[in-house]
Amino acid sequence: MGFHLIDTTMMYAPRSGGVKRYLHEKRDWLNKRRPDINHTLVVPGATTGLASHGVVTVAAARLPFGDGYRMPASTTKWETVIRMLEPDIIEAGDMFVPGHAALEAGEALGVPVVGFCHTDAAALAALHFGEWAEAPAMKHWAATFQRFDRVVAPSRHIAQRLAEGGVERVSVQALGVDTDLFHPSKADPQKLRRKLGLPAEARLLVFAGRPAREKNIESLICAVERLGAPYHLLLVGAGKDTHYSSRVIPMGYERDPVKLAGIIASCDALVHANENEPFGLVVLEALAAGLPVVGPSRGGVSEMIDEQVGQRAATVDPAGMAEAIEALFARDLAPIKAAARRRAEQRHRWDNTFEALTRIYGELVAGRAAATPVAMSA
């Protein structure tokens, strides 16, 4: 059964990370596998209108120091755009203006609305404003997601957080990775080391992502400085003009996915220190590239890694991360790298993600159609 799906979110910008990759992968997959599903993205832009095939922008002001992100201000304007597109089902990727507009449009049109929980707003509030902010943020966050017909969580961690807030109708669906793009064959470690001015024997750790506070990048930097030779840390997306130390190499945002895949595959291990991460697509990209992952023992990242494919850190402070990194490199990395690649192939293909999601969409659309009274002609 064909239908029109709208995805809407404010987390879409030129340098966006996981949410934008998820949406683009979904578009590509639907075009190839489910051409009966018409897919439209409604996202912020400089003007309101059709930006490209299947992408509609709604005018929103650019955030200062927001790395290209825009902040929608009018729920009414956003809702009007969605209603004009006449979707059969809507997926909202945030709880801000697009999320509320999706709920209002869904109610007006009588169509189901799915909320995909990409962010733990309560944890972010506590991090940025203090512990006092977590409870009111949790209350608002949970109240918004409780309004959706179905909520999708990318990890058991986020599902549990939603449950703590009283949110029902939650499905857990992990995200995926392009296992053809992120592949061990893309590795050229000596070329990357020459480019970075590192000796051939350097142990090169990598993290790719925004330099946001919640990513806990400072802990990674301190851990590598604590370890000393032969360890170095490559930060992709942390700002090429930022200076940390001689052991830390900052690189600008890499928008070419082929080049990014080559960079990741050419390193020795990925490191991740955010124990509140909802998911962490870069972890899957590393696993697919055959890289071991050192990460936290709680949060979304911990659900993807174990001693078969990497090393969990007891704590995400510098001492804990340094200890876990050393423990990883004390082991035979060859079987760990092979297991990492195998896990990505077996558990984390995008096919698994989107087949499950389209089943949810289909059930909701069919359920709403069955519940809608059919007008009888006289």
Helix (H, G, I), strand (E, B) or coil at 283: helix
Residues 6+ apart with CB under 8 A from 284: 175, 176, 177, 182, 304, 344, 348
Between the CA of residue 333 and those of 268, 330, 336, 368, what are the distances in Å? 9, 9, 5, 51
DSSP assigned state of 177? B
CATH of 3-116+349-371, one of 1.10.40, 3.40.50, 1.10.540, 3.30.230: 3.40.50
**Per-domain boundaries in the chain:** 3-116+349-371, 184-347
Strand-pair partners of 171:
152
pLDDT score, position 360: 96
Round to whole Å and give the CA distance between 187 and 168: 44
**8 Å CB contact between 328 and 310:** yes
The one-digit pLDDT tens for each residue of the chain (378 residues) are: 689 999 999 988 776 677 889 999 999 999 999 999 999 999 999 999 999 999 999 999 888 766 678 888 899 999 999 999 999 999 999 989 999 999 999 999 999 999 999 988 777 777 788 888 888 888 888 899 999 999 999 999 999 999 999 999 999 999 999 999 999 999 999 999 999 999 999 999 999 987 777 888 999 999 999 999 999 999 998 755 556 788 999 998 888 899 999 999 999 999 999 998 888 899 999 999 999 999 999 999 999 999 999 999 999 999 999 999 999 999 999 999 999 999 999 999 999 999 999 999 999 999 887 876 654 443
Residues 6+ apart with CB under 8 A from 54: 27, 39, 40, 41
Strand-pair partners of 45:
59
**Record: fold of 184-347:** Rossmann fold (3.40.50)
Integer-rounded Cα radius of gyration of the chain:
21
pLDDT score, position 378: 38
Strands (DSSP E) contained in the chain are: 3-8, 37-45, 49-52, 55-59, 61-62, 70-71, 89-92, 113-116, 150-153, 170-172, 203-208, 231-236, 248-251, 269-271, 293-296, 310-313
Q: Which of 337, 249, 352 is nearest to 293 (CA)?
A: 337
pLDDT score, position 134: 82
Round to whole Å and give the CA distance between 27 and 41: 9
